[in-house]
Copies of this chain bind each other. A is one copy, B any other.
C-alpha cells in the first residue's frame, strides 16, 4: 500500500486518539500536503519540531494498528463486501447490494 494511502487510513481509524494539536498539524502536512517549512512558519515552531511531531504521530498510529488491527480488518471486510455485491449483482439482488454497501459506510 502506498505510504500516503496507508497514513490516511491509519489516521481515519485512529486520528481521534491523537491530541487536537497533533491532529491539526498531521492533517496539514500528511493529508493536505503542506510543506514542513510552511507549517513551521505558520505555527511559529521549528521545521525540525514539525518533522518530529509527524514522526511521533506515525509511530502512535502504527502502534494502535498493531494492537487493534482496524485497517487490516477493514481491508478484509471491503473485499468481502465487494464479493457480496458482485454475486448480488449477478443475481439481480439489489437489496443485498445496498445493505452490503452500507456496511462499508459504517466504518
Q: Interface residues, chain A, CB within 8 Å of chain B?
A: 13-14, 16-17, 64, 67-68, 70, 73, 76-77, 80-81, 83-84, 87-88, 91, 93, 95-96, 99-100, 102-103, 106-107
Contacts and interface: CB of A to CB of B under 8 A. Distances in A.
Given A68-B16, A91-B91, A103-B103, A96 B73 contact: no
A91 B88 CA distance: 11
Main secondary structure of the interface of A (DSSP, over half): helix
Number of copies: 2
17 contacts: A13-B68, A17-B67, A17-B68, A70-B70, A73-B106, A80-B102, A80-B106, A81-B103, A84-B96, A84-B99, A87-B95, A87-B99, A88-B96, A91-B91, A93-B93, A93-B96, A103-B103
A100 B85 CA distance: 11
Given A16-B67, A17-B68, A68-B16, A93 B87 contact: yes
